[in-house]
Amino acid sequence: MRAVIFEQFGHPPRVQNVMDPEPAASGVVVKVEATGLCRSDWHGWMGHDADIVLPHVPGHELAGTIEAIGKHVTGWKIGQRVTVPFVGGCGHCFECNSGNHQVCESQFQPGFTAWGSFAEYVALDFADTNLVALPDSLDFATAASLGCRFVTSFRAIVDQAKVKPGEWVAVHGCGGVGLSAIMIATAMGANVVAVDLSEEKLAFARELGAVASVNGREKQDVIGVIREITKGGAHVSIDALGHPTTCFNSIANLRRRGRHVQVGLMLGGHAHSPIPMDKVIAHELEIYGSHGMQAFRYNALMDMLETGKLKPQRLIGKEITLDDAPAALMAMDRFEGIGINVITSFR
C-alpha cells in the first residue's frame, strides 16, 4: 500500500510503498476513505510523543470500510462503514470497565502507538470496543473530521464542562478544535466569545455562532476584554490551541467557580506551563482535561448530526491527496487557512 512515512523526527515525510497491515486477533483492517490532518500529527512528527517508534506512519482521524477481521472480533463484518475514536480502550482495565475508555491504561492510538491512517489501509485494535458504525447519510470526509478535534471538543463542552444554556463560554484559538467547540457550545445554548489572532478566523467563528470575538493581536488585555464582554468572566473557558499564553488566559478570564477545559495539547517545552493558581484557589475554579471520547458516546453526537444541530462538514477547509499530505503536515505550525484538511484521495 501507499503511505506517508517519516524515518526521523522533524525530517520531511515521504509517500512510500509499504507492506499492507494484517488484523490483530481482536482487531480489523480498515480501507481508509478519508483521514484528517491534525496538529497532534504535527506534534508526533516533531518527536513530542514518546509512544511513537520510528519509522512511523501518522494519522488518527479516519473513516473507511472494514477490509479484514481478526478471529476474535464478533460485532463487525467486512464492508461495514466505520470510524473510530483516536484513543481506543482495551475494554478490560479499570478505566474501561468504569466507562472511561478515553483514559485507558493500555490504550491504542492509531498514528501514535501504532501506524496510522495516512495510508490506504490501517490496522485498528480492540475493534469490538472501539469501532463506531457510520450512517449511510454521513460522508467519509465529514466522518473523518469527527475523529479527534470534534469529539474531543464535544466531550469538553458536554461531558467535562457541562455547559448550560445561557452560560458564557470563551474559546481561545479558532483552529479546528476551537471552531468545533464554538459550534457545539452554540448548539448547547451558550454565548460564545471567540479568541484568535486572525480576523479571518474570527469572522468564521462568528458565522458558526460566536456572539463576540477578541483579536489577541489587537487587544493587549485579552483577559480584561473577555471579563468585560461576559460581565464578570466566562462560566467556561477552553484552551483550544495549547500554548502557555492561551492556557493562562483561559483560566484567568473565568468568573468565580468557573470551569477551564484544556483541549489543546501542551507538549515539548510547553508541557509544564505556569497557571494562575492563586485564582484557582481563591475563586474555586475547576480545571479539566479532555482527551478524546468513548465510542459509546458517539450516539449522542450522531443524533445531533442527524437533526442538523451540528454541521461539522462546515469545518472542512480542503480535501487533499495523499501526495499533498507531507507538505500539509509540515506546514501545520503556521496555522494557515480556515478549517481542516482532509485526505480523500490515496492514489
**What pLDDT is attached to residue 18?**
97
Is the pLDDT at 9 greater than 90? The verdict is: yes
**What pLDDT is attached to residue 267?**
77
**Cβ count near 68 (within 10 Å):** 17
| Alpha carbon distance 137, 43 (integer Å) | 33
| Alpha carbon distance 237, 107 (integer Å) | 28
Comparison of pLDDT for 316 and 237, the residue scoring more: 237
The pLDDT mean for the chain works out to 95
**% of the chain exceeding 90 in pLDDT:** 89
| Alpha carbon distance 177, 240 (integer Å) | 6
**What pLDDT is attached to residue 39?**
85
Give which of 110, 113, 15 is closest to 64, Cα–Cα: 110
pLDDT tens-digit readout, 83-123? 999 999 999 999 999 999 999 999 999 999 999 999 999 99
pLDDT tens-digit readout, 26-38? 999 999 999 999 8
Mean pLDDT of 290-318: 93
Confidence of residue 149 (pLDDT cuts 50, 70, 90): confident
**What pLDDT is attached to residue 40?**
87
**What pLDDT is attached to residue 268?**
80
Confidence of residue 271 (pLDDT cuts 50, 70, 90): confident
| Alpha carbon distance 313, 298 (integer Å) | 16
CA atoms within 13 A on the CB side of 122: 36
Is the pLDDT at 334 greater than 80? The verdict is: no
Is the pLDDT at 337 greater than 80? The verdict is: no
CA atoms within 13 A on the CB side of 162: 5
Confidence of residue 311 (pLDDT cuts 50, 70, 90): very high
Mean pLDDT of 39-50: 91
**Cβ count near 36 (within 10 Å):** 28
pLDDT tens-digit readout, 248-257? 999 999 999 9
**What pLDDT is attached to residue 317?**
85
Is the pLDDT at 336 greater than 80? The verdict is: no
